[in-house]
Amino acid sequence: MNFKYCFNSLYSECFKSYGRWLWCFVVLFAFSWNLNAQKKISIHSENNQIIDATLDPPTQYLNGDVKLYHANTFMYCDTAILRGNLLKMRHNVVLLQNDTIKIFSDSLRYDGDSLVAHLYGDIILENGPTKKLYTSYLKYDVKNKIAYYTRNARLEDQGSTLISKRGRYVLNDKMAYFYENVQAKGKDFILIGDSLAYNTTDQKATFLSPVRIKKDTSEVFSNTGWFDMDDKTGKFIGNAQYLEGKTQAAADTITYDSKMDMVILSSSNRKSEYFSDQDTAYAQVIMYNQKNSTYALKKDGFYKSKTNQVKGDDIFYDKKTEKFNVKGRSEVSDPPMIIIADTIDYDKTIQFGKADGNVIWRDTSAKTAIFADHVRYNGSTNIMKASNDQGKPLFTTEMDGDTLFMKADTLKSFRVIKERIIVPDKNTARRNANKNKDTQMAKDTILLVVDTLANVVEDSLTLTSSTDTIFTGIMDTLDYFHGHKNVRIFKSDLQAICDSLIFNKKDSLFTLYKKPFVWSDSSQIYGDTIQMFLKSKKIDQLKVLSNATILNTEDFKFFNQIQGREINAFFVDNKMSTMYVNGNAQLVYYLKDDDKAYIGVNTSECSKMTFFFENNAVKDIKLYIEPKSMVFPMKSAQHETLKVKGFIWNFDSKPQDKGDL
């Protein structure tokens, strides 16, 4: 066996093992020495030094341009006393870390073991070129770079100033915390609270307690939130309130953006509120652009100005142009007009409105309403059109304590400006003598409306030229309502059908044309054209033009009949008082005995007839100009032959109720 080889191998292994232990010992010794070196305050320079070795540990007195170093921190002063790791510095004290953190003070007391410095006097803490903290006492954690103050301090940062009684400045996190009597000031605002956190990087103040911000004449209050003191944007959370003069706002959260000049009020379990002497708004979310004067209301919104009122789930309102856009079941009130629909667009500047979906369009002054799927309105020309996807739009108006219901394929309104023309009425004198009533007979003029609302034409069907006609040169503005195609009307005491209808709002005149029929109880009225004049929402006059016919029956077998070229009926308290039949007047009247049994039929013909009524019954009849009358017994009368020319009994077409329209 080679013993030399074995010994060498054994020695080699032992040496390797011993070497490892030796290396570990050296590393630990060096680390321990380094820790001791870190804990020991080192003196870099001074003008003179005195050491008192009688003390334990020895005390060093340093004077003039003193420079010390400890824990990656440089400290400067005029005089210092160093006893072990306890350091006292006086006069022009400077503490420097990382080339960005500088602390200036009159004096300093520093414990090198705890790495905590206490600074006194006129203290300035700088963290970069723009951030300075001023105070009279500061406790500074050198290791963690945290400054504490308890005797009032002021932080200045790029035009912003923050003041509080106590607080701490965490320089590594770029965060400063202010407590007790906190004030934050900018160029045009002041924030007051009890505590807040301030990010020195983005100048964002986070509220740790209720705060109040004053800006010019306005104030904002909230429990928590944040405010960017540079961009002047913020979010105020919890019982947030805004006040400026007569303007008030309240919400769970108020968000403000000065660049956009936007205020957003939002709430979760209640409605946000905004009040001013000009506006009132409620919604879960209210967005107000102060620069453009626009509002956006989300979720159950309500807006009211001096002239408008709007309800809807989603409301946009331009205050300058008075333009509305409303979505969800909504309501716009612009008295006397009220619009209710699923969606509404309304621009008051151009007076244009658009409503869609279950539309209710009311005129409270005229006590009228339209119910339709779609309504378009141009207020400058007063043109309105209502239509339905299926079925017909409905028009209602109050009359004599009752409601008149009307349906047509299309409902329209429009405005006509025309010269006022006076046409002499030969019947006025006679009517005044018989009735002693000042009623001006309307011209036999019918306005026909084409399907396109932009084109309104006037067709004078019965107006004839006259040398007595007076053209006044006065221009009248006349508003008309038009039911177009398949018009049906129901009122408890009046029903009607026709192809088309026009209502003159100024004269309160309904004109039914193209096969019109009017029913009242068991009476039927028809002719080429029928006009109904209203007064105080009551029928004042009924006029039937050309082929005018009235039929009345009690048994739907025998018919009393009146016919003439024209029929004029006048009413008092909604009851017929006088009726005139002009031109080829004919009367067929069935006579009854006291037991209401038929005994004969009377026929009369003349140029004109006048009927006088009392309690809705004929009291007297007068015939004028060559009257001819005959009476036929019931058994010998040829009842079919006695029917007037163009006899039509159209009772099956009569609307029985409003559901029959």
Residues 18-29 pLDDT 10s: 444 333 433 333
In this model, does residue 49 exceed pLDDT 70?
yes
Q: How confident is the model at residue 425 (pLDDT cuts 50, 70, 90)?
A: low
pTM of the model: 0.66
Q: Are 53 and 61 in contact (CB under 8 A)?
A: no
What integer pLDDT is reported at residue 478 of this predicted model?
65
Report d(CA 272, CA 283) in Å as an integer.
Answer: 5
C-alpha angle 477/364/326, rounded to 5°? 100
DSSP 563-591: EEEEEEEEEETTEEEEEEEEEEEEEEEEE
441 vs 188, residue with greater confidence: 188
**For residue range 114-152, what is the model confidence (pLDDT) as tens digits?**
999 999 999 999 998 889 999 999 999 999 999 999 999
Rounded average pLDDT over 532-547? 87
Write the single-letter amino acid at 334. D
Cα distance between residue 603 and residue 501, in whole Å: 34
pLDDT digits (tens, 9 = 90+) for 206-244: 999 999 998 888 889 999 999 998 888 899 999 999 998
- Choose the weakest-confidence range: 31-45, 306-320, 378-392, 631-645: 31-45
Region of 508 please: left (phi>0), alpha (psi -120 to 50) or beta.
left
What is the pLDDT confidence band of residue 420, given thresholds at 50, 70 and 90?
Answer: low
Which of these, 303, 310, 314, 375, lies nearest to 338 by C-alpha position?
310
Q: What are 263's two structure tokens? A: 């205020």
| Most confident range, picked from 163-177, 252-266, 435-449, 506-520 | 163-177
Q: Is the dihedral of CA 109, 110, 113, 114 positive or negative?
A: positive
- pLDDT for position 419: 66
Which tops the pLDDT comparison, 55 or 73?
Answer: 73
Task: Give the least confident one: 13-17, 147-151, 519-523.
Answer: 13-17
| Homologous superfamily, domain 415-656 | Lipopolysaccharide (LPS) transport protein A like domain (2.60.450.10)
Q: CB under 8 Å, gap of 24 or more: what pairs does 432-439 form? A: 434/578, 434/610, 435/570, 435/577, 435/578, 437/570, 439/540, 439/541, 439/570
Please state the rounded mean pLDDT for residues 81-106: 94
Over the stretch 459-469, which tens digit does the pLDDT of each residue have? 322 333 344 66
